[in-house]
Chain A
């Protein structure tokens, strides 16, 4: 039995396999299909102060080795999460990372304050790939100066719990954004969110997604994600959580070797609901087989000589 524990700021995870926001519901949906205590943590669907209905249908479609979604951040809202979901999640013994977002900086701060105060929420993950209402629709995660300010403002209201900031890959260079999170006092970075993409139904000549553009995820984006995660790791000292197209132990190892302290599995949860538990088990078996005492011994071992 290898030591699979990793640290994300003050939080110790029992292993580095996390299920990603928007692909794991509120965790409870998986209760019949796996043991959600056995994975490092899970990220909730992105939460906002008020519940949201999300975008119009259709809002998903398939692409080569991937999918596009334009769910539009549908969620039950923070009140319902606290009242209806969290007690059951706590009972299930899961480690919870509350993913959240807002339309304005004030929304973000208030959401973080609320979530940080909840017993059973172990860390916060801030999704900054949302249009900023105050700044005319530019994404919060699209300007490093603003991102640093937002991070600092949010960190102030959740001093006791790790604040992970989730970066958008739809930028020319991710490094200034990683640096902005660190400078703003963020405890960790997670990367990447979805790439912007589009798909057309040739028969109807309509976009397959009602809102035309959506977010590309799945194995197709893995090389892009790995490159950006590696760049973040080279830029900051705080832990980086790797996300994008992970579907096998080798995929997870690629991110750990590149320097990620933990990984998140998104789209592949749809294909294989128990995948995170399987990967955690396989990671343990791998470490034993390879005589690796601590999973942290794998992190940042890329050889580029």
Chain B
């Protein structure tokens, strides 16, 4: 094929924004079945926040049961007999609560928020493209995620209730209805996740192609904003990990419905096979849930402290290193599973080594705020909280990574504490930071800073009061996923602490109302957002808020890295990537598309 076809495929067939004539898409194309990455990002935001709310509500019920075991839950009367007769939660319902809480939070809240929402919002704008490489595929990615979530929700209503084998769904429990009392629910769980897998897959293909092929002139790899780097690596993780989960889920589904015995020992199946496949997906998955958060935090922290990110190349290297190591540590979830102890030792080693690239990131964040000029806008507050909390979660990970210590704390609340320090303290705080940071760009209105700071303060305080004591519960020997600790004499002394946790958990849930109100209010009443409210550098801030359909009017040109803050001898303390060096004029035709003809369509 002729070289002209090979050259610069990225400039071909991009439909840049055209200010001269208005965007005349019919309503349905504009807001519902839109192929515009910004709209799809917004759609992902609303969907995932809804599921975050659901997951949160389930958590509230969990906490009620643990705080006041066997007490009728206020308003619990509305639940059907099969769940909570007279408002008293049943053990089988509790198992469903825990399972669905984990499932919703991980697969339907955090993952679509980080990957679906931020991926769509940021990638095309940050690389300077008019849209994703495959806009229609992008739309399908969202519209397959919705039914997946819907199926997951409806599984509460089916005979036997929702899946109740934990979000890790270990067979035989998850494969044999007689053991768990759940049949249809567990199958719907598998189906829903397979569908969600397709959705993520479509997203990943899109992201990778867009980032590799559609970067604007001058946007070299080492000038990419860190969120894009993180999302790129994350997309690769999704691409390679999701199929493994899909395969495992399908085998589980066969065991449940057809009568195969992949995971059932009677005729030689291997229960541990599921665990290997699940965690071979599962650990990359948890890095899918943290890497984008790290990217967002880096962006916000550099902006908030008006300083270039400390050691950009090292930050990129660390992301890659974490992602790679993430593939060879899955066994650390199986130390006590009966897996060969020698294998355990090697998994301990690989797991521990992940602390090193993580260290690089943490200390480089510290290096970034060091001698900075820190502005405490709401995004910055959340980003700083992210650093502080992620460190706690990460360090507790090191305890579990040590095989002998894990003997004691495996499947105790120490793990639960870890989960929430990395996922809530890590991912969710970064998500809050990102939402406060980019909301103005995509909805054209600022989020109210006062409400924002209140929300942050309440969340931060209550969050720590809820999850830090869980470490002690774990050290006290309290197992996970137990409906009523008081069944064990040695756990009764922990009840006051459980009640304490529950009180503040309810408070934590309630304080999220501030956030909801802030979002809903600001959508219509918030003060109009300027082009560049945070005086930030990356390309999207040159555009009106919200950016027009097609983003840029012509292929933008990029002259420098994204973190040139406080450059000596400049008037203002930021330096947009697109600003040509010393006043030289931008030619609208920069990088134009002369080479575009004849690229196969």
- Whether both chains belong to one complex is answered with no
Residues of A whose CB lies within 8 Å of any CB of B are none
Residues of B whose CB lies within 8 Å of any CB of A are none
